[in-house]
Chain A
């Protein structure tokens, strides 16, 4: 039996102690067990749960998003179950299908978290998925420090979360819904005209090159 305030769970046959209420993802990562993830922020309550890359299988429960599901005493988790793996791969394929992958001309030059995750998951841009064409949106370079390229955004929501933690009034948020959902400022005004201070927290967490620092 685990210490008070801790629970004991099994992940891929390994016994892991985790703090009560901790999410499976963090329990696994702390124990050195890798689960793909892009949108996860440990401090985010409730978790963002937007990228859908962290699916695992829990015995008796089925497939769950490990960044959202809290640990419970005696839980048996499999990270490499076929169903979870298929769903994770599919989620990555959908993200890739909707991303231009012009890495050669991208400011992050393929060194972004998103591409690294795709490579580590061994998922390539699917040829059989044809998303509705998106309107090419203008790159917003009005801000003295931060450049915003909405076309690169994968809508993970990390930038909005960190901004909300730091700023009283966030300069941007998601607008519309479903396929049309996108990140933008109030009335899509230039970022330079908002109250954005350019602290760069959003740039630090952006897994793609949607938000990046202006080169000096």
Chain B
């Protein structure tokens, strides 16, 4: 982690104008910008961590939590929104028990919402691990998640809980 960060930082001179490019580099390398990375960037550029945090949070392109094993993007562009995209997002939030922009505690699933991904004729659309799922419905949400192993995980937990009780 620290080594990866140093790799990103090394080519940049200590000038605050490189802040955005460094943040972009960090995100590209690690998929997200961690707290340690924010502090590392601040100490490299000799500027306040609060300022780095301010700049990073200003831009929507930066994310501060890692991607889950399965990354889900629910489209809420105009067409998807009109076709009930919000219901789809709600269904994911309910099933995974996380909010949009969140990640499950085991890092298995992360959920995001986006403006438009450009295939409006297939609305409402969801992208999971770069695969487009067209004409979604709340029912299909369960189906898709089960296909990716969510139900199995739940059953396993139930089994474990059951075993715990019997002991």
Contact = CB atoms under 8 A, between A and B. Distances in A.
B54 to A, nearest CB: 4
A176 B38 contact: no
A173 to B, nearest CB: 4
Given A186-B53, A187-B35, A171 B48 contact: yes
A175 interface: yes
A177 interface: yes
Contacts of B47: 169
A176 B58 contact: yes
B50 A177 contact: no
Given A186-B38, A187-B35, A172 B50 contact: yes
Contacts of A115: none
A41 interface: no
Interface residues of B, number: 13
A215 B35 CA distance: 34
A185 B57 CA distance: 12
Contacts, number: 38
Contact of B48 (A170, A174, A177, A187): A170
A175 B48 contact: no
Chain A contact residues: over half helix, strand or loop, or mixed?
mixed
Contacts of B51: 170, 173
Interface string A144-179: 000000000000000000000000011111111100
A171 B35 CA distance: 16
A173 B19 CA distance: 16
Interface centre among B38, B39, B58 (most CB of A within 10 A): B58
Nearest first, the 10 A-B pairs at minimum CB distance are: A173-B54, A169-B48, A186-B49, A175-B57, A173-B50, A186-B50, A170-B48, A175-B54, A176-B57, A173-B51
19 contacts: A169-B47, A169-B50, A170-B50, A171-B50, A172-B50, A173-B51, A173-B53, A174-B54, A175-B57, A175-B58, A176-B57, A176-B58, A177-B57, A177-B58, A186-B49, A186-B52, A187-B35, A187-B38, A187-B49
